[in-house]
Amino acid sequence: MDLRPYLTRLESLNEVQRVEGADWDLEIGALSELSNERNGPALLFDKIKDYPPGYRVVSNLIATPRRLAITLGYPPDIPNVELVRGIKDKFNNLEPMPPTMVSGGPVLENAMRDDEVDLLKFPTPKWHEHDGGRYIGTADMVIMRDPKDNWVNAGTYRIQLHDKDTLALYISPGHHGRIIREMYWAQGKSCPVAMVFGGHPLPWMPCFVTFPWGTGEFGVAGALLGEPLQLVRGEYTGLPFPAHAEIVVEGEAPPPHIESRKEGPFGEGNGYYGSAERIEPVVKVKRVFFRNDPVLCGAPPMRPPASGTPTFVLRASNLWYELEKLGIPGIKGVWATRSGGSRFINVIAIEQKYAGHAMQVGMAAMCGAEGAYHGRFIIVVDDDVDPSNDEDVLWALATRCDPATSIQIVRQCWSTPLDPTIPPEKKARGEFTNSRAIMLAVRPFHWRNEFPRVNRASNELREKTLRKWKHLFNPSPPLKN
């Protein structure tokens, strides 16, 4: 689980491009956005303005389904829904594998302690033009221990760099890290925190997927890896972190009445600045460990369809897993649209088995830990529609969804302060809820056999034609009706 050979492999597959001389102030962020909009490679920045050679930043590391597939050991050209299915099956058969504690690792090559701590040593980008500052944590792992049950949680949250030893840690309400942090504060204690700012992406992936309370993400990473994740124990907090990480800090988050600072604004993955500058808790950093020639990993949120992470793939996989755990039959594909920012539009393809099946799927998709948070639209389609193909989905909506009878609205759902549609007066009183629309773009079950036939060549005819005329098509068009 070492980033260095992983980058070498990606480079051999033309999935990494080296960039020298970029400015940490906006230029790295703009280049990352421009590349991602074009489904370009990951970008490895070196010789960054104001910093010595070797202090590097990599962005968009697993921002495309292709690089995610490579990371998880799938063929690079695996179809989208098959990739989601494969990851879902991993979740379905998941048995968390406890990590292994080791005495040392590359992350301990260099150390800064107490007054030596200087986070300005690292080329933290200012990612977006209207951000309130530099954000060192976008592809991060924030590690905390539940003070009651002693399990270790690792999540991905935004982290602003205030000064050489102070960070802002924003966590949206309802997330496990926020709950754990508040458990310490309720006891009048500071919350011990470790933060990872670079490393192999596989241990990081579980950190932005929602698992049940008490499920340690390090155990999930071991299960995905197929062997225990190697961790070292922090000397200040005692918290574990990956031995092959690039940059790790340890510190504590004091109760907000003891110290808080202005944080934000920050451009989010829904394509907006969901909040203005406001007072948020901080983390006081006491230890910094880093490798020689460290690589800071960045996954800057961007306006969809650009995205710094493949959350749309992983969240679709987890949603599919949740639906199957509920015992709902006939699920043929799940997708979280990239254009919708991974959470706002979920599409579920089903083989209808009974009257009410489609609505059951739509309602169930809002109930699990993954589907409940910060959504907007749930679209249910028949299994002849590819849920990962926006044009297919729009066609189904246009021809199989009757607005008067096929759309249901559900209110008072779990949202976030970053939701751009919550009115200011609701945010002011902490009412972070929204509504969801369930849209049934399926043939009506009770007369589905009388629904007009689709005007498209059959798979048999398409295959026969392609065999004869294959020189006309590169790549071949999809065959599925």
CB of 119 closer than 8 Å to CB of 165: yes
Residues 219 and 343 in one domain: no
pLDDT on residue 274: 78
Buried b (16+ CB within 10 A) or exposed e, 384-409: ebbbbbbebbeebbeebbeeeebeee
For residue 233, give the H/E element and its range: strand 230-233
322, 479, 323, 464: which is closest to 386 by C-alpha? 479
Residues 423 and 358 in one domain: yes
Is 263 part of any domain?
A: yes
Buried b (16+ CB within 10 A) or exposed e, 317-339: bbbbbbbbeeebebbbbbbbbbe
Is 54 part of any domain?
A: no
Is 268 part of any domain?
A: yes
pTM: 0.86
Residues 238 and 321 in one domain: no
Residues 129 and 260 in one domain: yes
Residues 141 and 271 in one domain: yes
Is 49 part of any domain?
A: no
Count: domains in the chain: 2
Is 39 part of any domain?
A: no
Which residues in the chain come in under a pLDDT of 50?
none
For residue 133, the enclosing domain spans 98-295
Residues 149 and 250 in one domain: yes
C-alpha distances (whole Å) from 453 to each of 163, 254, 401, 450, 457 are 64, 64, 16, 8, 11
> Which of 260, 295, 330 is the endpoint of a domain?
295
Residues 249 and 286 in one domain: yes
CB of 3 closer than 8 Å to CB of 202: no
3-state helix, strand, coil in the chain (%, to 5): 30, 25, 45
Residues 285 and 332 in one domain: no
Residue 308 has which token pair?
């710094």
If you write DSSP's letter for every residue of 428-459 in order, what string do you get? Answer: HTT--EEEEEEEEES--GGGGGGSPPP-S--H
Residues 116 and 196 in one domain: yes
> Which of 295, 326, 359 is the endpoint of a domain?
295
Q: Rounded to an integer, what distance in angstroms lies between the CA atom of residue 211 and that of residue 220?
A: 9
Q: Rounded to an integer, what distance in angstroms lies between the CA atom of residue 44 and that of residue 57?
A: 6
The strand pairing partners of 192, in sequence order, are 252
Residues 317 and 289 in one domain: no
Q: What is the CATH number of the domain that holds 243?
A: 2.30.110.10
pLDDT on residue 340: 67
Is 402 part of any domain?
A: yes
Residues 195 and 320 in one domain: no
pLDDT on residue 470: 86
148, 137, 238: which is closest to 193 by C-alpha? 238
Q: What is the CATH number of the domain that holds 344?
A: 3.40.1670.10
Is 145 part of any domain?
A: yes
Residues 121 and 218 in one domain: yes
pLDDT tens digits along 429-464: 989 999 999 999 999 999 999 999 999 898 899 899
pLDDT on residue 329: 95
Residue 433 has which token pair?
């809820």
CA count, 13 A, side-chain hemisphere, 294: 27
Find the radius of gyration of the CA atoms of the chain.
23
pLDDT on residue 477: 65
End-to-end CA distance of the chain, in Å?
A: 41
pLDDT on residue 341: 64
Is 374 part of any domain?
A: yes
